[in-house]
Structure 1
Amino acid sequence: MRPRIDLDPYKDEIIGLFNQKYTTEIICALMKQRHSLDLSDGTLSRRLREWGLRRLPSKRVDDAALRERITSLVRDDLSDKEIAEILRREEAFSGLSQSKVSKTRRKMGLRLRTDDPQARQAQDAQIEEVIRQEIEKGEIEGYGRRLLHSHLRAKGHVFPRDRVFAAYCRQRPDSLRRRTLDLQRMQPEPEPTPEPVEDSTGPNHIWHMIGFMKMAEFGLEMYAAIDEYSRYVLWIYVGVPSRTAVSVYRQYLDAVSESKHVPQIVRTNLHAETTLVGDAHLALMRAAHPEIVQADCYSSGGSSETNRRDSWWSQLSKSSVFIWRNYFATLQDQHLYSKTSIPDQVALLAVFMPTIRSSVNSYVKTWNRHKIRKQPKRPWVAHGAPLYLYEHSTKKNFREPADPALLESLQRDAAIWDAEEYLPRDTLAWCTRELQQIGFDPCNPPPRDDFAQPYRAVYLELRRRAILHVQSRASPILGICELPTRESW
């Protein structure tokens, strides 16, 4: 007979956890973690009864609501443990166990693995078809094992990660070869950083605003904001050259307006372009902390932390932007694109901007859901899915509420600039009519005809028509968007 486990030294702690509505399953796990007690669920339940503690009948969980929440969280590529932790914080599912989540998920047909040969064969055929469809959309170009798995999870496809990547490699061996050889320019290793002080970082402690200008030659620029702790991408902007103070200012205010809060600190790798951002962030912080100075909440220019966030652009470039940079450079080398030619710029933006935006936004959603591995050399760096770390972390959240009246006043200053506009209205309307005649919808393009140079024929035909239109001096006069300046707002 096994010796009786002496739980009396831990009685008060166990009763406290029980009264906090922790399940016996979680209490066992906590006791093992804290005191190395190998305690079974049955043993703990019996001991609680001996102490006169009985769980009241739990309220019935709405199965339909539970299935809906589990479906949503499975798409975020979360484990059953993470799903249970999130749901227990919601009043409707308090006390929900991990085993209940697992059983419900399996009943819904969301099985993470199957050992039946026939079911496995049928699933392999389904995986091959799903991968083929995603390749045609062009949204998974250059994805690795983890990103690809998270991307399909977000689409509602629950497949084993390794078999998904194997199917992708069979259909796109050239993409695998490029990843293996790493043809993209290698980024230097980040500088070593000291271990932070405990509780000195968490969600919304620092937002990094960084710019990607390597496609500016083709009329495209990108800005993004990334949370330092979780590496969650808060927002990303893909549009026409916008390296002016008012454009960055508008992007920051839109992000704050959507989240209803500001971080404790904003850092950026830019300089003069972010002067207004620094002023706006200081004003919003002073609404709650009148004594604060700008140096305490805002800094611009290079830093080791910002450089590490810059490496995220390298990840994006390898997975989503690399093909476009090469493609446009090829057009330039073949004298089929010039940054000084209005017809060339108009045709390129009209044909490719919606597709590039869709591809980059898809990558960001996948990035936020994929799991970041542990870093042995930097064990204090958070690991896991950025979305989970940002929204559900137990670390201190440093966010500050944004004053609604002040925020509205600041937004009025930049309201003249439309962040979504990439061609003047008349020019875009002309391009839309011409593309309809060609039989091409840039917002809903057909499967790609060439992975390396998609929609080349469409671009060349619209470019030809734009050149003839400019030469004819007919209306409307084709042009590109003027950059907002201090004088224009």
Structure 2
Amino acid sequence: MPAGRPPSDYCSFPNNSKALQQWGISRTNYESELEDKIKELYFKQGLRDHEIIHALETNGIKISQSTLKTIRLRIGLRRRVVNAEDIQNTNDLVRAEVQKQLNSGRIEGYGRGHLYRFFRLKGYNIARIEKIMAAGDERRIKFLAQIISGVWMAMLHYPSEVSKSMLQLMLSLNINRTQISVLQRFLKVLQETKIQPRYIRPDKGGETVLVAAAHYLLLKEQYKNLLLQDCYLYSTSTSDQRIQAWWSRLTKSLLFIFREYFLKLSNDGHFQKNSLADRIAILAIYIPMAREEIASYVKVWNTRQITKQSHRNHSISGQSNVLYHLLEDGIPDYGSKPDQVVLETLLDEHNFELDEYLPLDTLNWCQQKLHSQGFERIRLEGLNENGERTHFIAYLYLRDQINLHIATQSEPQLRECEKPTQEELHLQQGLQKVATDLTNQPWFLG
């Protein structure tokens, strides 16, 4: 495993018989754990056989191709279903799941490849999605399956270079602290992964300037005579076609569901922008839901297979997750460990709660009201006994309760997150200087 790369969560269980005996774990339990791990790697991670073997070997579990196949078949993990009865049973199960997901709107914009991976992670083996979807429900889904291949490209999300794995995708509120928020997100990724890329490739957006400055400060102790342009590969947003294309795919595949729904709420008179109750209810209900959907989308995306490209000799094929967590021998890792002193200094600069979308007292009040009516976990696909969207019913209820609470001037005082003051947005001197120098560079201004 490359130096500096965080431990993989692909497998974590005892890795030799002697240790098993010392810990009092029987062979039966060990085999059961191994089977469970193979199931997880097969379904949850979407790995192929040779990738499962590699994942196990990194944790000391030696297993041959034939042994893996024997175990896989014994526990019912077949790569292909050939029996006519099994095919029909599988199709019936998947058809019901497809109908459920179509009703939620979640998969309506998914590309073919993303659709296969989505159902695979849910435990379904499917071969021809078009033939198991009921004719009335079959909806044309354009194939949108290629992700960014930049170094680390910054546009509020961070994909990796070789693996093309999406490291983080955020949904945050824009309340005049976008620059600081993006900076903190970048630093948090470095802190969590303990890896810093050699380059970042952002567009000219103002929110990326501080990221570039922090990136330079973290690298300059490692590389002598480092210039800003040596680690900051600026290009216009129109030039970063891959990242722009991925953002477009996310919008067409997932975010359009929320955009169209919110537009309908407004058109039907259920949301008024100038209503505090409407705004708080929207945030309380839909921010957690949208974050969950985005996280699920990214998880599925990171199981995609990158095919070998004959015209690009440097291209590496394989699954994104595997390439990021389990680099094979001979594949260079250009990441380095970030300077911990500089990193901690930059992280201590601001204490914003990056995931905050409502003040804590307001959020707690909203959650208590929702829980009192049985809205414990609101899901996109949830329906009540009348076939109505659970999230819509929850929104209307919460909005009415907020209006009543405000009208009676009860406590706590319900409010939105406040915009930070200029004092709260101050920057560390070194960071501010680098950011200023960057914005004055001719190659940046041009």
| Range class of TM-score, shorter chain | 0.7 to 0.9
**Please, what TM-score do these two structures have when normalized by structure 2?**
0.76
1:107 to 39, 64, 74: 74
1:241 equivalent to 2:186? Answer: no
Segments of 5+ residues of structure 2 without an aligned counterpart are 1-16, 19-26, 426-446
**Please, what TM-score do these two structures have when normalized by structure 1?**
0.70
Cα distance change, pair 376–335 in 1 and its aligned pair in 2 (3 A): farther
- Per the alignment, residue 304 of structure 2 pairs with 370
1:479 equivalent to 2:424? Answer: no
Alpha-carbon separation, structure 1, partners of 2:279 and 2:204: 26
Cα distance change, pair 259–274 in 1 and its aligned pair in 2 (3 A): same
**1:269 shift after superposition:** 2.8
- Per the alignment, residue 352 of structure 2 pairs with 417
SS across alignment from 1:208: coil
Segments of 5+ residues of structure 1 without an aligned counterpart are 1-58, 191-200, 211-222
- Per the alignment, residue 322 of structure 2 pairs with 388
**1:81 shift after superposition:** 2.8
1:462 equivalent to 2:398? Answer: yes
The answer as to whether partners of 2:220 and 2:226 remain within 8 angstroms in 1 is yes
The equivalences for 1:344-355 within 5 A come to: 344-355=278-289
Alpha-carbon separation, structure 2, partners of 1:278 and 1:92: 42
SS across alignment from 2:50: helix
2:405 maps to a residue whose letter is H
Moved more, 81-90 or 286-295: 81-90
1:342 equivalent to 2:268? Answer: no
The answer as to whether partners of 1:244 and 1:484 remain within 8 angstroms in 2 is no
Cα distance change, pair 362–132 in 1 and its aligned pair in 2 (3 A): same
SS across alignment from 2:61: helix
- Per the alignment, residue 206 of structure 1 pairs with 151
Q: Deviations over 1:210-253 (max 9, x none)?
A: 1xxxxxxxxxxxx3111244321101111222552211111111
1:409 maps to a residue whose letter is T
Moved more, 428-437 or 65-74: 65-74
1:403 to 334, 339, 350: 339
Q: Deviations over 1:377-432 (max 9, x none)?
A: 87865554321233344532110112333322221113x11122111112212222
- Per the alignment, residue 118 of structure 2 pairs with 151
The equivalences for 1:436-451 within 5 A come to: 436-443=371-378, 447-448=382-383
- Per the alignment, residue 134 of structure 2 pairs with 170
**1:292 shift after superposition:** 1.6
Alpha-carbon separation, structure 1, partners of 2:377 and 2:32: 39
Moved more, 468-477 or 250-259: 468-477
Cα distance change, pair 454–443 in 1 and its aligned pair in 2 (3 A): closer
**1:373 shift after superposition:** 5.3
**1:88 shift after superposition:** 4.5
- Per the alignment, residue 91 of structure 2 pairs with 124
The answer as to whether partners of 1:354 and 1:442 remain within 8 angstroms in 2 is no
Alpha-carbon separation, structure 2, partners of 1:300 and 1:252: 17
The answer as to whether partners of 2:106 and 2:257 remain within 8 angstroms in 1 is no
2:184 to 247, 250, 274: 250
Alpha-carbon separation, structure 2, partners of 1:273 and 1:329: 27
SS across alignment from 2:292: helix
Cα distance change, pair 348–428 in 1 and its aligned pair in 2 (3 A): same
Alpha-carbon separation, structure 2, partners of 1:451 and 1:248: 40
The answer as to whether partners of 1:146 and 1:371 remain within 8 angstroms in 2 is no
The equivalences for 1:209-288 within 5 A come to: 209-210=154-155, 223-241=156-174, 244-288=178-222
Higher-Rg structure is 1
- Per the alignment, residue 80 of structure 1 pairs with 49
Alpha-carbon separation, structure 2, partners of 1:134 and 1:446: 7
Cα distance change, pair 131–333 in 1 and its aligned pair in 2 (3 A): closer
Q: RCO greater where, 1 or 2, for CA within 8 Å and sep 6 or more?
A: 2
Alpha-carbon separation, structure 2, partners of 1:385 and 1:402: 26
